[in-house]
Amino acid sequence: MHVPVHILAARLPRWLLPAQWPSQGGQPLLADLHLEQGRVRGLAPHDPDFSAPAGRAWHLNGALLLPGLVDAHTHLDKAFTLARMGPVKPGLLGAIEAMMVDRQGWTEADIHARASRALQWAYEAGTVHLRTHCDWWEPEAQPLAWNVLRELAQEWAGRLTLERVALIPLHLCAERETALRLARTVAASGPGALLGGFVHSTNWNPQALRHLFEAAQQCDLNVDLHVDEELHSGALGLATTAALVQELGFEGHVVCGHTCALAVQDDATALATLDAVARTPITLVTLPLTNLLLQDATTGRTPRQRGLTLVKEAHARGIPVLIASDNVQDPFCPVGSFDPLEALATGVLAAQLEQPFDRWSEALCRADWLRRGARALPLQAGSAADLVIFTQADAWGFPSRTQPRVVLRQGRVVSGQAPAAWSPSSTPIPVRSLA
Ligand SMILES: [Zn+2]
């Protein structure tokens, strides 16, 4: 049975439930979801007396359920290139060097094949929304991958929303005119395109960052930056971005990925920057896998620092924080699987995150944190029945044992298999009114 109408006794994360949701023994009551034509018709505390026609309901018996997943920061253009490279020097700059050599052999077919594999893995993991960055090296020429990613966004439409960010080295925006020309090219390339930049102390140019935001404003583009991906306490990318967003009255949405440098700044400086970020609509994205691998990386020396941004302090200030995959099986990161749960599992250890299911699973589910406008929780009445149900995990050990899962898209199973125990009865039972 691939189209359940009632999903009963699901354990939902606390962040997704209304404040008045009843509890029992300190745990939120299990939930019943009622579906109709691929959408959520209603969500209510579990009613043990509810009966449905046989074969139309799954009884989850407390299995964990999340809305469709969001992977807010990936690099599909580079994915799966590691296997064909020689030795790669450690650290971020060594990885960039290896990538520059590999990309000389890229073709559209090569990029399409690697990115398609990534999207298939993401889809099977339960991802509904994926944002990829795309390296953009030249002020004039569009990178080969940009058009391939645009075609893939169309190929995957209806299964997965694919956004693409032009990842432009900051120095290309040193001239206002060049920044504007780049922004116009990005804006003209179709929906789902954003302006991005690599903002690092090695290429620091506050004027260029201003040009980037002015150009985005003029072309009505949202912005997604790699910011302060380094353990250098003098890095000014995030603080300057927050100030610019305020000063320019920037109307687009802004995402700042990495912001590792906050972790090595003195508390007063770092927290003042976060206070400034909290006054803007900036979303932070933390990338635990690559940060652990690339920060404080020197051959033959055990790393001493973790390289993560201040996720708890940001969360405490109400700043939206997403957790994402970043690089997968490329010179920046040899591991990874386009499964957001893998990034969360790493983040739980690296940042010592409490309540991974009830609190931090939100960092994998909030697509609204990537766009302008009002916040909207997923999985409300009327939203698509895009669900991920974990058949073997529980709220205490989460995200351990989350690999076995059933993925539903618009109420239909697209990956995994519902355990027989979810559909115990074959005898028709009268349906009680939901009213
Ligand atoms: Zn990245």
Burial (CB < 10 A; 0-12, 13-18, 19+), residue 417, is exposed
CA of 308 to the centre of ligand 1 (A): 13
Torsion of CA 240, 171, 211, 165, to 10 degrees: -90
* Model confidence band, residue 398 (pLDDT cutoffs 50, 70, 90): very high
At residue 305, the pLDDT reads 93
CA of 115 to the centre of ligand 1 (A): 15
Phi, psi dihedral angles at 259 (to 5 degrees)? 45, 45
Range from 81-95, 140-154, 181-195, 406-420 carrying the lowest mean pLDDT: 81-95
CA of 284 to the centre of ligand 1 (A): 13
At residue 265, the pLDDT reads 97
pLDDT at 434 over 70: no
CA of 104 to the centre of ligand 1 (A): 20
Q: With DSSP H G I counted as helix, E B as strand and the rest as coil, what are the percentages for the chain, rounded to 5?
A: 35, 25, 45
For tokens 């003195």, the residue is: 266
Separation of alpha carbons 234 and 406, rounded Å: 46
Is 354 in the active site?
no
CA of 164 to the centre of ligand 1 (A): 12
CA of 226 to the centre of ligand 1 (A): 6
Three-state DSSP class for residue 27: strand
At residue 317, the pLDDT reads 98
Residues 17-21 have a mean pLDDT of 95
Query: In sequence order, which ranges of 126-175 are alpha helices (DSSP H)?
Result: 144-155
Strand ranges in 136-278 using DSSP code E only, listed in sequence order = 161-169, 193-199, 223-227, 254-258
Per-residue pLDDT reduced to its tens digit, 149-198 = 999 999 999 999 999 999 999 999 999 999 999 999 999 999 999 999 99
pLDDT at 1 over 80: no
pLDDT at 393 over 90: yes
* Model confidence band, residue 426 (pLDDT cutoffs 50, 70, 90): very low
CA of 388 to the centre of ligand 1 (A): 25
Name the nearest CA neighbour of 131 among 197, 224, 209.
Answer: 224
141 vs 167: which has the higher pLDDT: 167
Residues 131-142 have a mean pLDDT of 94
294 and 348 Cβ atoms separated by less than 8 Å: no
* Model confidence band, residue 431 (pLDDT cutoffs 50, 70, 90): very low
CA of 299 to the centre of ligand 1 (A): 22
pLDDT at 343 over 70: yes
How many residues comprise the chain? Answer: 435
CA of 282 to the centre of ligand 1 (A): 17
Per-residue pLDDT reduced to its tens digit, 321-339 = 999 999 999 999 999 999 9
At residue 425, the pLDDT reads 61
175 and 140 Cβ atoms separated by less than 8 Å: no
Distance from the first to the final alpha carbon of the chain: 26
208 and 180 Cβ atoms separated by less than 8 Å: no
Per-residue pLDDT reduced to its tens digit, 283-293 = 999 999 999 98
At residue 406, the pLDDT reads 98
191 and 158 Cβ atoms separated by less than 8 Å: no
At residue 432, the pLDDT reads 44
* Region of 208 on the Ramachandran plot (φ > 0 left; ψ -120 to 50 alpha; else beta): alpha
Reported as type and span, the H/E element at residue 346 is: helix 340-350
When the pLDDT of each residue in the chain is averaged and rounded to a whole number, the result is 94
Which tokens in the block code for residue 177? 């005119």
Residues 233-258 have a mean pLDDT of 97
pLDDT at 222 over 80: yes
Q: Letter for the amino acid at 51?
A: S
User: Which letter does DSSP use for residue 143 in this model?
Assistant: P
Burial (CB < 10 A; 0-12, 13-18, 19+), residue 377, is middle
CA of 326 to the centre of ligand 1 (A): 5
At residue 339, the pLDDT reads 98
pLDDT at 428 over 80: no
At residue 90, the pLDDT reads 77
- Active-site entry in 214, 229, 342, 362: 229
Residues 31-38 have a mean pLDDT of 96
At residue 86, the pLDDT reads 84
122-141 b/e with 16+ CB inside 10 Å = b?
bbbbbbbbbbbbbbbeebee
Separation of alpha carbons 298 and 229, rounded Å: 16
